[in-house]
């Protein structure tokens, strides 16, 4: 008898896969856009939705606000074996903004089309929020327990670095994580379809590492003046030169352990050599996910915003640019020194937000539990480690000594260009993938 059959024989309540699509759609319809400057709607309405879903099954969640409207929800379930170290399972309730004019559908309507739920947050990360919430409700309804004490968190502010979410909770309410040694969250556990000599094979990318973050602002200083007069101290020109040097810089390539193992495993599966510097054929085997992997081969620095001037015929005395830098584990100081050198003497480098790189082992009981939960649903698949080029709330939990992994399981169609939908337009998640993920997560929580 399967776990599902056992649960239904005792209690005919809905299983997580029965509810996950509904919850995902309802969360998407709550606009929780995070503009990064405090001007968005905040997460309060989404947090209240989570609280209501918990209360409906008799659970009392805790809603915590770092500032008015910036809301995080926490609920803890006792495990079958409370003598074991605890687990944290977390998602975030905020999403990046969406320009409706760019989309085929209303990004906050959660329209179902072509077997997918469309909308901002469908993959980042209200899909995983829904899997988590559906499983919590299932445990409560059936009176069953996860394998060990588990703290479930729905964070605010992940899309702006977690200042009002994960980092605030760690700073002000660390007791929620007492006894917790490991955590799972977003951007891992999804499938890619790899071409092999024997035919296509699915591989699930389990996130074991993530790059560090350095959000910087360049401030160029110069001499103000009339637009008709030559000026060799033009702040905009100085800023442009600094940007040009940063953009042209060739960051050295380095393979950290998770990247090396991923490339070697892909080479073995596909029959494409991972040796040498030409990785294009191997990366192409990853399809849309190759962008994430490309970003982990070296440190990166991308200019994302520019600001200067106030009139066409006035040379301004200052100009600024925002730069998003991501560094591999152990590279933070070298990256900062390099950026300051490239910026030059007339450009000041301000650190707006900085957070650590993470690296956890692709081994141990938790990793094995994740692998087995995936393989019980998809027995012929492979499970491979990878490093995320972005960042997650696991960075904040890492300050408490908690090893974090990316495990939001989704079995995806081979033709769905999934990874580029993170922060992209026409974001969508297949309903069948949601149901798959809800089943895998349930199995994992019972066995981890």
Extract the tokens encoding 180.
């917790």
CATH code matching the domain that covers 3-194+358-447, chosen among 3.40.47.10, 3.30.365.10, 3.40.630.10, 1.10.1200.10: 3.40.630.10
Query: What is the number of alpha carbons within 13 Å of residue 210 lying toward its C-beta?
Result: 25
Q: Which pLDDT value is given to residue 1?
A: 44
| Sheet with 347-355, side-by-side order of all strands | 300-308, 318-327, 212-221, 347-355
pLDDT at 8: 47
Q: What are phi and psi of 276, to 5 degrees?
A: 85, -175
Total-model pTM: 0.90
pLDDT of 272 reads 81
Please give the pLDDT value at position 73.
98
Residue 53: both structure tokens together: 């879903």
pLDDT digit string (tens) for the chain, length 448 residues: 445 444 444 557 789 999 999 999 999 999 999 998 888 899 999 999 999 999 999 999 999 999 999 999 999 999 999 999 999 999 999 999 999 999 999 999 999 999 999 999 999 999 999 999 999 999 999 999 999 999 999 999 999 989 999 999 999 999 999 999 999 999 899 999 988 878 889 999 999 999 999 999 999 999 999 888 888 999 999 999 999 999 999 999 999 999 999 988 888 888 887 666 778 888 888 877 887 888 899 999 999 999 999 999 998 999 999 999 999 999 999 999 999 999 999 999 999 999 999 999 999 999 999 999 999 999 999 999 999 988 899 999 999 999 999 999 999 999 888 888 888 999 999 999 999 999 999 999 999 9
Spatial separation of the C-alpha atoms in residues 165 and 92, rounded to whole Å:
9
Whole-number Å distance between alpha carbons of 12 and 20: 17
Close Cβ partners of 302 (under 8 Å, ≥ 6 residues apart): 323, 324, 325
Largest CA distance in the chain: 85
Contacts of 305 (CB under 8 A, 6+ apart): 321, 322
Ranges of each domain in the chain:
3-194+358-447, 210-355
Q: Count Cα neighbours of 180 within 13 Å in the Cβ-side half-sphere.
A: 29
Q: What's residue 276's pLDDT?
A: 65
Neighbours of 80 (CB within 10 A): 12
How would CATH label the architecture of 210-355? Answer: 2-Layer Sandwich (3.30)
End-to-end CA distance of the chain: 20
d(CA 311, CA 229): 15
Contact 389, 188 (CB under 8 A): no
Q: What is the pLDDT of residue 81?
A: 96
């Amino acid at each position: 008898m399967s776990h599902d059959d056992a649960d239904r024989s005792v209690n005919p309540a809905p299983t997580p896969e029965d509810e996950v699509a509904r919850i995902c759609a309802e969360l998407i319809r709550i606009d929780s856009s995070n503009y990064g400057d405090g001007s968005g709607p905040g997460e309060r309405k989404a947090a209240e939705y989570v609280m209501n879903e918990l209360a409906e099954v008799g659970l009392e969640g805790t809603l915590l606000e770092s500032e008015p409207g910036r809301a995080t929800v926490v609920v803890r379930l006792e495990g079958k074996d409370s003598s074991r170290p605890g687990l944290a399972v977390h998602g975030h309730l905020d999403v990046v903004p969406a320009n409706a004019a760019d989309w085929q559908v209303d990004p906050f309507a959660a329209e179902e089309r072509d077997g997918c739920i469309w909308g901002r947050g469908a993959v980042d990360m209200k899909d995983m929020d829904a899997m988590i919430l559906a499983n919590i409700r299932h445990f409560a309804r059936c009176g069953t327990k996860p394998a060990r004490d588990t703290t479930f968190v729905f964070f605010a502010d992940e899309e702006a670095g977690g200042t009002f979410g994960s980092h605030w909770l760690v700073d002000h309410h660390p007791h929620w994580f007492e006894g917790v040694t490991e955590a799972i969250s977003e951007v891992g556990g999804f499938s890619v379809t790899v071409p092999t000599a024997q035919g296509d094979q699915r591989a699930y990318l389990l996130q074991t590492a993530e790059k560090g973050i350095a959000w910087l602002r360049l401030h160029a200083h110069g001499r103000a003046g009339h637009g008709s007069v030559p000026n060799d101290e033009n702040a905009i020109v100085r800023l442009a030169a600094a940007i040009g040097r940063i953009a042209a810089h060739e960051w050295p390539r380095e393979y950290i352990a998770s990247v090396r193992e991923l490339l070697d495993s892909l080479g073995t599966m596909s029959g494409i050599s991972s040796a040498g510097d030409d990785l294009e054929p191997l990366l192409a085997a990853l399809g849309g996910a190759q962008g994430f992997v490309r970003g982990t081969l070296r440190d990166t620095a991308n200019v994302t915003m520019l600001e200067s001037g106030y009139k066409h015929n006035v040379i301004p005395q200052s100009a600024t640019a925002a730069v998003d830098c991501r560094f591999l584990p152990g590279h933070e100081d070298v990256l900062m020194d390099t950026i300051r050198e490239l910026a030059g003497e007339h450009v000041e480098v301000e650190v707006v937000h900085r957070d650590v790189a993470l690296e956890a082992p692709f081994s141990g009981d938790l990793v094995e539990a994740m692998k087995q939960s995936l393989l019980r649903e998809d027995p012929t698949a492979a499970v491979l480690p990878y490093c995320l080029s972005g960042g997650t709330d696991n960075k904040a939990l890492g300050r408490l000594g908690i090893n974090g992994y990316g495990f939001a399981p989704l079995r995806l169609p081979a033709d769905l260009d999934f990874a580029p939908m993170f922060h992209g337009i026409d974001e969508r998640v297949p309903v069948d993938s949601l149901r798959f993920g809800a089943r895998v997560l349930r199995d994992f929580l019972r066995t981890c």
